[in-house]
Amino acid sequence: MSRLLVDTHALLWWLSDDAALSLTASEALGDPANEPLVSAASVWEIAIKRSLGKLTAPDDLPDRIVEEGFSWLAITALHAWQVRDLPAHHRDPFDRLLIAQALTDHLPIITADTRFNDYGIEVCW
């Protein structure tokens, strides 16, 4: 089984069956041999952006994530501390935390964001 960290936009595209999700990403998320992980940082990001009216998300988002077969990736002190060593290729604090989690836990990440490649992370898209 392969553990895969799912970037926020990829999660939302999966949940809404959006065609923006690449075929490769969709197949990886749908493969029962994989364990897709959603970071608490993504839920936090969605909550903030939803409250600001920048995106829509279901009221039962955490339940939907679990129902879709995703597992949770908690934010640990090691993840937060890893951010200090990241070069400034990316300024989004939520993405920087996801990058730190991917590096710390040696996880490939499902993302369309090409800036993640600058960190030497395995990207699945």
pLDDT along the chain (125 residues), means of 10: 94 96 97 97 97 94 96 97 90 94 97 94 95
pLDDT the model gives residue 105: 97
**φ, ψ dihedrals at 116, nearest 5°:** -65, -30
Neighbours of 59 (CB within 10 A): 8
pLDDT at 23: 96
**Residue ranges of the domains in the chain?**
2-124
The answer to whether 13 and 21 have CB atoms below 8 angstroms apart is: yes
Q: What is the pLDDT of residue 1?
A: 66
Q: State pTM to two decimals.
A: 0.93
Q: What CATH number matches the domain at 2-124, 3.30.56.10, 3.40.50.920, 3.40.50.300, 3.40.50.1010? A: 3.40.50.1010
